[in-house]
Amino acid sequence: MENGELLVRRGGEGPALLLIAGGTGSGDSYRALAKPLYADYTVITYDRRGHFGSTDSTTGAVPVSLQADDARAVLDQTGVGPAAVFGTSAGALIGLDLVARHPASVTTLVAHEPPAVHLMPDAGAWLEAAAEQVRLARSGELMTAVTRFADAIAGAALPDLPNLRLPHEADWIRLFDRELTEFFDYLPDLRALRKASTEIIPVAGEGSRGRYHYQPAKILALELGLPFTEMPGAHLAPQRNPAKFAVALKELLSPEL
């Protein structure tokens, strides 16, 4: 990988399945989801650049295209060839960019609640909210920024911890300072996605209905002329309902299994 090293994990047997993390970029966020997938897939996870066990020597904003290049590098370095990919939230955006620019690397992409707010008619309000979170984090009000970020996400409300240190503080700071604006500014390349040979499956959680992160997947499906599928749980279902989510994910990827 250019300008850094990625911590990659793999387990299981079968066709390759790459899981791209959202949030603060931890591949371990998929640990519980990966276990029931091991019987059918070689599951590959990694920490996004600059997060947890991965390094990054670049400075400034981290564009989605660079994150997608990292995902491709993981596939290339592990030697698994074209693979199925699952990404949630920011990880879904990274997956969409990977398919748009490197479609031969991905057989199937399941894009779970990508926050592609530019597809939404009220994009301006969500862009302003993200900009305010970035401003708060940069001014030292990190917990306020994280709380506002979580409050907008179905099922992700934080406990009231005003006097406790935020876990993984450095990764939250990086998310707000170098990544969040890039994610919210990202508009999927619809023309390239329409032309891609990859099977693209836009999905959102049934528990996310009415939240901003539910709509982009539905709009994306309409724009690409593809079916839209609801998954069990809400935005954090891959972490909070991993067993049920894994069953649904396997059904999408390989209905015959």
Please state the rounded mean pLDDT for residues 95-100: 98
pLDDT value for 103: 97
Report pLDDT for 163: 54
pLDDT tens, position by position, 198-225: 999 999 999 999 999 999 999 999 999 9
Extract the tokens encoding 46: 């990694």
pLDDT averaged over every residue in the chain? 94
Question: Has residue 214 been placed in a domain?
Answer: yes
166 lies in which domain range?
123-179
Q: What's the total number of domains in the chain?
A: 2
How far is residue 116 from each of residues 92, 198, 202, 221, 229, measured CA to CA in Å? 9, 19, 12, 12, 17
Q: Decide which of 131, 151, 179 is a domain's last residue.
A: 179
Do residue 70 and residue 127 come from a single domain?
no
> Do residues 193 and 226 make contact, with C-beta atoms less than 8 angstroms apart?
no
The answer for residues whose C-beta is within 8 angstroms of residue 5's C-beta and 6 or more apart is: 54, 55
Is the overall model pTM greater than 0.75, yes or no? yes
Claim to verify: residue 205 and residue 171 sit in the same structural domain = no
Q: What is the CATH number of the domain that holds 214?
A: 3.40.50.1820
Judge if 92 and 211 occupy the same domain.
yes
